[in-house]
């Protein structure tokens, strides 16, 4: 297991951690100045930016892009909407390639409006990812299926456990061609009674392509926007990182904290210095 002590070059900041309060080029400068080795931007930030200039800036600062966030939701009420989502995701995969992102984050989506067909939505997700794999291969971009916490199953993701995400990888990419993997976020997966056994299984070997940290707070007040800073919650972060790295993961440790009422209210540089300290002390 790698030591993170004095190794901020092994650590990355998801821009959501800073609350999307300033333009992307400023966030990039700030993260680089704080000494981090990577960053993970969002598509809505890129919409207001010059993509080529951002790509040049990232390379000039030697910042890795640990992930490009995130997919348009895949399950849809009809074929037209489904294909529109696929088209949008294909365009985003091209942008991920321009950013030389380690992966394109697949937050796959919940149930289509009005639907209760959970099984059908999960089948649509498999079908949609299969269609995106071709684009991913052309663009030399990895797709990272991110299992989201079960509390998001209706609205944001019908993929809810590590084992389920890995089974999708096996189904869609049995020959392990190198363009499909899983993003493991401790916030989403920490509670799972099967998570340790799954991480040490052969199925997980080589499949983890992104690793996100934050913490789960006791008495979480908001289902979406109350994630904790590492060390403030109940997750055994170091233990999980050890198991993730045993799968062969050699990427950066990415901090992703949605925290509307706490961390998003603090000065960005304070948040970054706290991230740096806590990554080394707790992860």
- Summarize as ranges the residues that interact with a copy of itself (CB under 8 A): 110-111, 115-118, 122, 149-151, 153-155, 160-161, 163-164, 190-193, 216-220, 223, 233-236
CB 143 within 8 A of CB 104: yes
Q: Which long-range contacts (C-beta less than 8 Å, at least 24 apart) are formed by 55-58?
A: 55/98, 55/99, 55/100, 57/25, 57/28, 57/29, 58/28, 58/99, 58/100
The minimum distance between CB 207 and a copy of itself, in angstroms, equals 17
CB closer to a copy of itself out of 15 and 124: 124
Instruction: Provide the minimum distance between the beta carbon of 189 and a copy of itself in the complex, in angstroms, as a whole number.
Output: 9
Tell me whether residue 115 or residue 201 sits nearer to a copy of itself (CB atom).
115
Q: What share of the chain is helix, strand, coil (3-state, %, to 5)?
A: 45, 15, 40
Shortest distance in whole angstroms from residue 50 CB to a copy of itself: 35
- For strands 103-106 and 208-213, give the pairing: unpaired
Tell me how far, at minimum, the Cβ of 229 lies from a copy of itself, in Å. Answer: 14
| 3-state DSSP assignment of residue 61 | coil
* Three-state SS at 247: coil
Task: Identify which of residues 117 and 280 has a Cβ nearer to a copy of itself in the complex.
Answer: 117
Structure tokens of 192? 């799972």
Comparing CB distances to a copy of itself, the nearer of 67 and 110 is 110
Name the residue nearer to a copy of itself (CB basis): 39 or 106: 106
For a copy of itself, the closer CB: 15 or 161: 161
Q: How far apart are CA 172 and CA 131, in angstroms?
A: 10
- What single-letter DSSP state applies at residue 264? G
Q: How far is the CB of 148 from a copy of itself (least distance, A)?
A: 10
State the nearest-atom distance from the C-beta of 196 to a copy of itself, in Å: 8
Q: How far is CA 126 from CA 32, 72, 167, 264, in A?
A: 37, 14, 10, 35
């Amino acid at each position: 297991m790698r030591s993170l002590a004095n190794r901020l070059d092994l650590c990355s900041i998801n821009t959501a951690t800073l609350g999307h309060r300033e333009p992307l080029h400023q966030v990039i400068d700030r993260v680089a100045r704080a000494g981090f080795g990577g960053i993970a931007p969002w598509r809505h930030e890129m919409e207001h930016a010059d993509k080529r200039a951002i790509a040049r800036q990232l390379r000039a600062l030697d910042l890795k892009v640990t992930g490009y966030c995130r997919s348009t939701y895949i399950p849809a009420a009809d074929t037209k909407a489904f294909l529109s989502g696929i088209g949008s995701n294909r365009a985003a995969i091209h942008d991920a390639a321009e950013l030389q992102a380690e992966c394109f984050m697949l937050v796959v989506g919940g149930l289509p409006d009005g639907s209760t067909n959970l099984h059908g939505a999960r089948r649509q997700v498999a079908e949609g990812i299969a269609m995106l794999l071709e684009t991913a291969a052309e663009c030399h971009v990895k797709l990272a299926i991110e299992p989201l916490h079960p509390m998001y199953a209706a609205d944001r993701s019908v993929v809810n456990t590590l084992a389920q995400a890995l089974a999708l990888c096996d189904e869609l990419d049995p020959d392990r061609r190198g363009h499909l993997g899983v993003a493991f976020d401790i916030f989403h997966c920490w509670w799972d009674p099967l998570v340790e056994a799954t991480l040490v299984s052969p199925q997980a070997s080589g499949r983890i392509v992104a690793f996100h940290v934050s913490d789960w707070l006791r008495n979480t007040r908001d289902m979406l926007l109350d994630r904790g800073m590492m060390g403030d919650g109940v997750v055994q972060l170091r233990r999980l990182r050890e198991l993730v790295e045993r799968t062969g993961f050699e990427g950066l440790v990415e901090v992703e904290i949605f925290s509307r009422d706490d961390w998003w209210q603090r000065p960005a540089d304070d948040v970054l210095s706290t991230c740096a300290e806590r990554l080394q002390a707790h992860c």
